[in-house]
């Protein structure tokens, strides 16, 4: 079949992780090829081993998950062919490697266990009936998983650079505070001088008004008795 499996192009949380990846469900791909009793399998192989993969002739010959380290391939996600029809309501995404219990159970049934390394991997869908394979898709492009970073390989230099950035930011903040203080001080002094100038102008106006309008001009005062004759002896003789 011309269909090529692929990771869904849409944004999806955990689309590719260190042990799993999401795969778009192949809808309408097997219509016209599958019977009601048929099943669709997913074959997973290391990219450099996909060319040597051989389809099993029966369900008993399906390669198991636990054989992946040595056989370099396995088959999983056995699903009724009707689940991939055009009218199927199932979710549009499959997740390869999602069953974390596979490592502990040691069962012989097909298992969808976590992938043991970043790969890369190739996958294809295989339609199988009671008498063996009936149809298959093409192999996907190589799918590379994420790599976990060891704590011993983390470079502490970004932390040092982060500390330098913090120090520079603190210095710039201090300079900004000093500059703001200086500007506010200059503005305060200017306002103070302006207010003082206004006060001086008001005092001068009040003093001028006080001298001009509130103090009447000095008038001659009558002399006390005995002080108006000159020479004084003349007043006494009279």
82: CB partners within 8 A, 6+ apart: 34, 36, 88
Do the Cβ atoms of 41 and 128 come closer than 8 Å?
yes
- Indicate the pLDDT class of residue 120, thresholds 50, 70 and 90: very high
Cβ pair 22, 97 in contact under 8 A: no
The answer to whether the CB of 131 falls within 8 A of the CB of 56 is: no
Per-residue pLDDT tens digits for 42-93: 999 999 999 999 999 998 899 999 889 999 999 999 999 999 988 877 778 9
As beta bridge partners, residue 233 has none
Q: Inform me whether the pLDDT recorded for 28 exceeds 70.
A: yes
Smallest CA-to-CA distance from 44 within 95, 101, 106, 80 is with 95
Cβ pair 97, 113 in contact under 8 A: yes
List CB contacts of 58: < 8 A, sequence separation 6 or more: 132
């Amino acid at each position: 079949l011309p269909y090529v499996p692929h990771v869904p192009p849409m944004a999806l949380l955990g689309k590719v992780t260190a042990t799993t990846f999401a795969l778009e469900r192949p809808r309408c791909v097997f219509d016209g090829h599958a019977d009601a009793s048929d099943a669709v399998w997913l074959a997973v192989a290391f990219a450099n081993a996909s060319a040597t993969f051989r389809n099993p002739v029966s369900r008993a010959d399906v390669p198991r998950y636990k054989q992946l380290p040595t056989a370099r391939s396995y088959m999983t996600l056995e699903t009724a062919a009707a689940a991939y029809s055009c009218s199927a309501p199932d979710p549009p995404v499959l997740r390869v490697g999602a069953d974390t219990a596979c490592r502990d159970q040691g069962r012989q049934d097909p298992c969808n266990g976590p992938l043991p390394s970043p790969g890369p991997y190739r996958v294809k869908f295989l339609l199988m009936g009671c008498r063996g394979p009936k149809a298959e898709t093409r192999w996907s492009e190589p799918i590379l998983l994420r790599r976990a970073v060891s704590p011993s390989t983390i470079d502490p230099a970004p932390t040092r650079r982060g500390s330098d950035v913090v120090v520079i930011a603190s210095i710039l903040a201090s300079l900004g505070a000093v500059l703001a203080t200086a500007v506010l001080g200059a503005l305060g002094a200017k306002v103070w001088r302006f207010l003082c100038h206004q006060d001086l102008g008001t005092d001068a106006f009040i003093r001028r008004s006080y001298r001009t309008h509130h103090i009447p001009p000095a008038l001659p005062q009558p002399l006390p008795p005995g002080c108006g004759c000159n020479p004084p002896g003349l007043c006494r003789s009279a």
